[in-house]
Chain A
């Protein structure tokens, strides 16, 4: 899949996003290459979530351009074919609490075009991959925080997206689920690209292949390779972004 890409998954230039008088992003540039996991760190309110929404093509910048897979998504948002290549885990699980786990996954599977013959079984794959079998028939309203996060991960990876946007994806997971999620995300990275937002040095160490700091609306690269947990913690402390 990576070799078939003609354009980088993400290329942002001069990205500005303001809310009234507040300027959250101030001329930010970012290029993300296929097969990488770029982590974005920064203190609360730095604009990390806003940046993820812009990179998902579901919010529009005040100025600047966002190109996703070569398509300009800044002015008019992402088109449906581009959105089909993106998955997202956000603060909220982005599911329906009154539907069961299986119904949620079936619903979102139905909203995405099947890319291959195996697509029919992608709900089962998500249930197995993130250990949701025990709660598959339970309404999402009754799930614990950890199970909700697993469901969010299952939903986001259901259509095997080429670009996965991850906002604190391992929050609330127990050790076993966390290892399982890291393994699943690692497998995804062999076929696609990830952008990670996290305050957790363990997450950064396990997932990120490079790290950028978001400060005063701009990005600065602070690591161009994998870092261990201690180094990640020091970076977060230096930025005032440690939990």
Chain B
């Protein structure tokens, strides 16, 4: 798992393609929100959570698709399928690398978003960090599995959001609530059911990815 994780990060460190495109797309989405919606309403701290995750969903989907293209580009995918390793660990390694990129993106996008939208009255609590960690974990798990499945087809760019967006709906609902609560300093107890949902979601999709990647890697 860590070999795959280190490999993905080494490639990203060299090219910067995924993180750069993720951040640029996120910035564009924020600007679209700022120009098309009522700015007065967007300044409401509780809305920031939803906007952050909508932004990460759109930008992250494209970035995760790119991370799987690296495997397809020169047939490295076949070499991984042939290697005598637990194929589930390939999934976990790639999901961990994607998680790290999404975490960096979230950490950079959120303050930029708050500044651009002029959001005030923020009181971030540790709950915000937990929300971002759980949300990006679920997004990385579903996105990595979806990108791997989509990469087998010619219509991969279209198929990836079709596969992942419906699966991510429960995660987005829950994580937007928890993030909003974290932004205004609410206690975790106030959003406990949503936190439980996020933990279960992450666990389910990490397990599904780990167990099914054996078949995903084969023809």
Q: Are A and B associated in one complex?
A: yes
Residues of A with Cβ closer than 8 Å to B?
A: 53, 56-60, 77, 80-84, 86, 88, 90-99, 103, 107-108, 110-113, 139-140, 155
A95 touches B10 (CB 8 A): no
How far is it, in angstroms, between the C-alpha of A36 and the C-alpha of B206 when the chains are bound? Answer: 44
Give the distance in Å from the alpha carbon of A135 to the alpha carbon of B80 in the complex. 23
Contact of B70 among A57, A77, A98, A108 (CB under 8 A): A98
Which of the residues A58, A80, A113, A155 comes within 8 Å of B218, measured between beta carbons?
A58
- Decide if A96 touches B84 in the complex (CB within 8 Å): no
Task: Provide the residues of chain A in CB contact with B74, threshold 8 Å.
Answer: 92-97, 140
The interface residues of chain A lying within 8 Å CB-to-CB of B154 are: none
Q: List 24 A-B contacts (CB under 8 A).
A: A56-B82, A58-B219, A59-B218, A60-B219, A77-B214, A83-B83, A88-B79, A88-B82, A94-B74, A95-B76, A95-B79, A96-B7, A96-B70, A96-B73, A97-B74, A99-B10, A99-B11, A108-B79, A110-B3, A111-B3, A112-B83, A112-B84, A140-B74, A155-B79
CB of A98 within 8 A of CB of B84, answer: no
A-B contact count (CB 8 A): 79
| Nearest B residue to A91, CB-CB | B75
Asked if B120 CB lies within 8 Å of chain A CBs, one says no
Give A107's nearest chain B residue, CB to CB: B7
Main SS of the interface on chain B?
A: helix
- Among A58, A108, A155, contact of B81 (Cβ-Cβ < 8 Å): A58
**Cβ contacts under 8 Å, A96 to chain B:** 7, 11, 70, 73-74, 76
- Nearest CB of B to A65, in Å: 17
CB-CB nearest 5 A-B residue pairs: A92-B75, A84-B84, A59-B219, A94-B79, A80-B84
Determine whether B78 belongs to the interface, using a CB cutoff of 8 Å to chain A: yes
* B71-105 residues at the A interface, CB under 8 angstroms: 73-76, 78-86
Q: Is the CB of A81 within 8 A of B84?
A: yes
Q: Is B121 among interface residues, defined by CB-CB distance under 8 A?
A: no
Q: Who on chain B is nearest to A110 by CB?
A: B3
Most chain B CB atoms below 10 A, which of A81, A86, A107: A107
Given A60-B218, A60-B219, A103-B10, A94 and B76 contact (CB-CB distance below 8 Å): yes
Residues of A within 8 A of B14 (CB): 98-99, 139
Told that A82-B84, A91-B75, A94-B74 touch, could you supply 13 new A-B pairs with CB distance under 8 A? A58-B81, A58-B217, A83-B82, A88-B79, A90-B75, A93-B75, A94-B75, A94-B76, A108-B79, A110-B3, A111-B3, A111-B85, A155-B79
